[in-house]
Structure 1
Amino acid sequence: MQSSDSKIERIIDGVLARMSNGTLRAGDRLRSIREEATVMNVSKNTVVEAYLRLVARGVLIARPGSGYYVSRTSARKKGPALPAILGARPVELLTEQLERRLPIRPGDGRLPPDWLESPEMRRPLSVMRMSADDTYNTAWGFLPLRERLCGTLAERGIQCQPGQVLTTYGGNHGMDLVIRCYIRPGDAVLVDDPGYYPLFWKLGGAGARIVGIRRHHDGPDLEDLSEKARLTGARLFFTQSLAHNPTGGSITQGTAYGVMKVAEEHDMLIVEDDPFADILPYTAPRLAALDQLNRVIYIGSFSKTLPGSVRIGYIAAAPELAQELNEMKVISIISTSAQNERLVHSLIEGAHYLKYLRRLHDRIHEATAQTVHGLENVGFSVPRPLSGGFYVWIPLTPTMQERDLVTEAAQEGIFIAPSVAFSTSDSPALGMRVNIAHGSDPRFLEWLARIAH
């Protein structure tokens, strides 16, 4: 069930979107409180609160006995038109995730900030932030946290010792360290396609030759992987086995076994990114569990489940690889945050994190069901089984494939993430990643239904 604050923000976002796309102009009267409550299926008190917040921001003015009107100064406060600054290039999409200029956000990569707060976490976070010291961390990271992570990994079927685990500033930093250590200009590197576009930038910046491996809902295409490993001589394959970004699929046990056979045959290292592990089953198929960190470098993270200011990730690898990666960590940033790592360790040990994850898991499950129902109601198919992560994937209809959807959506205040951003190919199979926290928004679904025909 939506919180009252979420309902208020939905009304605020709707007003701002109508102003952005020109439906509402300076001086226009808004719908009455009763009308807005009926349209948005909320109470009149919720509408009053939303309108008053917009008055406080200078967006609306209240005229007693008449209603609420768009302020005539609002138009002068607008920046550049959104379609002029938002396109389908990955850098623009990632920038929009940080700047949050568009109010309707099915293209987001993260959950809404208010989802990452709960009664179980709010007070422990504030108390520990106030009490934590600012001493330098050890090179490898806070030892009690690394010891606890070894226990967590053992539950996932991955056996390791603290000397095989180093902490990072999130999963992206873990990828950076692997790239710095093991990739030189001109090296062929295999990646999921569609796949994680920030990784593509990192590899491009290192001068790597990026080779896409077709990604199906149940994992990498084994024939494509084997053929391209043979032809390119690649020694690294970056993949996300579970709750895949962007397709939302997860690898099956048989496909995971096939990937490891290809890696052994062609003497490849596999970098397995597992950012959603804490909300997924321990028993889900993981390459690192099959391989036991022989040729798999495993990257985990708390950055998807904790607030963005707590950026903690980790790498688990064979002892000699972990040593090399940790030396690169020291050379590049010296150490990670002792305060944040102590904080996360305390949350885990105090069971605050476990209680919070249970609530978050239920909320994700409910939102996924609502998003799938909404998408299928307007004529889009969603692949099964559902992974339990943040995303589902929908193919585009033929009438949608020739249009500049990113710009068209931005004109209506909608942020989307199309397949072109996630592919190494110039002509990918067209689809769209949908964040389950925003996928059931009626304004997004109405826009999808309208442009699909």
Structure 2
Amino acid sequence: MTGIITKTEALIQVLRDRLARRALGPGDRLPSIRRFAETMNVSPSTVVEAYDRLAAEGVIRARRGAGFYVADANMPPMKVAQMGASRDRDIDPFWVSRQALSAAPGSLQPGCGWLPEAWMPQNALRKGLRALAKADGTVLTNYAGVQVPDTLLRVLQTRFAEESLPVAPDQIMLTGCASQALDLICRLFLNPGDTVLVDDPGYFNFHALLRAHRVQIAGVPHGPAGPDLDAFAAALQQGPRLYITNSALHNPTGATISPQVAYRVLSLAAKQDLIIVEDDTFADLEPEPSPRLAVLDGLNRVLRIGGFSKTLSASLRCGHVAGRSDWIEALIDLQVATSFGGPSPVAAELLAGVLTGGSYRKHLADLHRRLSLARKRVTAHLAPLGIAPILQPRGGFYLWCRFPDGIDTAEIARHCLGDGIILAPGNVFSPTESASRFMRFNVAQMDSPRIYAALQAAMA
């Protein structure tokens, strides 16, 4: 009958999945026939047949008297999306990201993580591009060096100094973006099988990237004042290597860590030799600075990453990492090995030009005003639908909203996608899938009445 597979075929698929996820690699020994049969609750003859069929394909090979081993050749391509626990497509980070990045013309994206084009400083960017056309030929043609260009270095040091965080030149480096910064940090500190703490809910692309590094993800409940301290302390018993978080304008909740929670997190981390990665991508969207782990820690065990994709241009790929000088030195070596230098000199020079051009602070003030109005407006439009934010953030463009009892936001997102509306359901942000009643809305992308009509229809 169509659609029914045999026990042998099911067993073969299990093994293929392990190979694709690199749970088994070239030269690894497969479980013994007897042990695998007991584990999978099948007969030894079923295991023998599965192994024989894979051996005939050249995927595995038998060694007389020593068992079966993964062949050095014919390994299937590594499928990052299949790593970790299987997730429903509507809450899978890879599928949600790809929907947002490849949206069809005319689609609405209240679930995306960026501002509309019209909100960005296009005139300043065009002016900077015209200036770059007259730049020295080395900027236009050469590889990037490993040092931060002087102008951009001064800008970044000044910004950190305003938070009382002195950063020496050897404590900062440029990356292609904040995500690349995190990738380099994972390469430096993690091995497959290590445990990493993340906020629950937390930014879903953190989870996707960690799956690519083949590590275990442990979620820590996150609330209006930061991570739950009891849960954080309990999670430390798993021996995690890293904790990745947003201290301010948390993604997706919009929360800001309290000073008391920040101090306690650092104290617990110090006792367990835990390294903290503080993603501060949304820093410029906060009207006034709030507590930062990197500032309180003095860049001892905290690495701070950031970029300007949220306030200047997502097309202008340039991020940065600040941390201990020995860690930055090691990260630079990794960057040279993996991408032969830092981000494009064109991107770095354009970024420096816009940041020093005199219009950036005015642009930020305008963003703060527009976003404040948008948060209030969207909250008012959602209220009649029974959808309410759990808190009003101090800034930024996210509202983390609770839906009425009995509603699964993944179903809402699936329904609205048929109307060309791309949403971000709660469980895509939750490694424990405990946020089915929640959804993240981008208030800057919520002007169309179509969105509210589609939500109402989906909830009916």
Selected match of 2:231 from 224, 231, 239: 224
Aligned partner of 2:352 in structure 1 is: 345
Selected match of 1:110 from 102, 114, 123: 114
Amino acid at match of 2:381: G
Closer, same or farther in 2 for the Cα pair 1:264/1:281, shift >3 Å? farther
Q: Name the TM-score, length of structure 1 as normaliser.
A: 0.77
Selected match of 1:267 from 256, 273, 276: 273
Closer, same or farther in 2 for the Cα pair 1:104/1:354, shift >3 Å? same
Aligned partner of 1:158 in structure 2 is: 165
Amino acid at match of 2:336: V
Q: Name the TM-score, length of structure 2 as normaliser.
A: 0.76
Deviation track 1:161-196 (CA, whole Å, cap 9, x = no partner) reads 111000011110110110011000111111111111
1:381 shift after superposition = 1.8
Amino acid at match of 2:154: E
Closer, same or farther in 2 for the Cα pair 1:279/1:401, shift >3 Å? closer
Alpha-carbon distance in structure 1 between the residues aligned to 2:316 and 2:410? 39
Alpha-carbon distance in structure 2 between the residues aligned to 1:174 and 1:232? 25
Secondary structure of the residue aligned to 1:126 is helix
Aligned partner of 2:194 in structure 1 is: 187
1:403 shift after superposition = 6.6
**Gapped regions of structure 2 (runs ≥ 5):** 1-87
Amino acid at match of 2:262: A
| Larger-Rg structure | 2
Aligned partner of 2:214 in structure 1 is: 207
Aligned partner of 2:102 in structure 1 is: 99
Selected match of 1:89 from 88, 92, 97: 92
Aligned partner of 2:73 in structure 1 is: none
1:437 shift after superposition = 1.0
Amino acid at match of 1:190: L
Aligned partner of 2:298 in structure 1 is: 292
Aligned partner of 1:283 in structure 2 is: 289
Amino acid at match of 1:254: Q
1:122 shift after superposition = 4.4
Selected match of 1:309 from 294, 310, 315: 315
Alpha-carbon distance in structure 1 between the residues aligned to 2:195 and 2:426? 23
Aligned partner of 1:141 in structure 2 is: 148
1:329 shift after superposition = 1.1
RCO higher in structure (CA 8 A, sep ≥6): 1
Matches within 5 A, 1:32-47: none
Amino acid at match of 1:260: L
State percent identity of aligned pairs: 32
Alpha-carbon distance in structure 1 between the residues aligned to 2:192 and 2:147? 28
Aligned partner of 1:126 in structure 2 is: 129
Closer, same or farther in 2 for the Cα pair 1:382/1:429, shift >3 Å? same
**Gapped regions of structure 1 (runs ≥ 5):** 1-84
Alpha-carbon distance in structure 2 between the residues aligned to 1:166 and 1:128? 24
Alpha-carbon distance in structure 1 between the residues aligned to 2:261 and 2:327? 25
Aligned partner of 1:31 in structure 2 is: none
Q: How many residues align?
A: 367
1:353 shift after superposition = 1.9
Matches within 5 A, 1:25-64: none
Secondary structure of the residue aligned to 2:290 is coil
Aligned partner of 1:62 in structure 2 is: none
1:332 correspondence with 2:354: no
Alpha-carbon distance in structure 2 between the residues aligned to 1:123 and 1:349? 14
CA contact (8 A) 1:190 1:212 kept: yes
1:412 shift after superposition = 1.8
1:282 shift after superposition = 4.7
Alpha-carbon distance in structure 2 between the residues aligned to 1:154 and 1:276? 18
1:446 shift after superposition = 2.4
Secondary structure of the residue aligned to 2:406 is helix
Secondary structure of the residue aligned to 2:133 is helix
1:88 shift after superposition = 3.2
Amino acid at match of 2:317: R
Instruction: Quote the RMSD (CA, aligned, Å).
Output: 2.0
CA contact (8 A) 2:125 2:350 kept: no
Alpha-carbon distance in structure 1 between the residues aligned to 2:398 and 2:238? 31
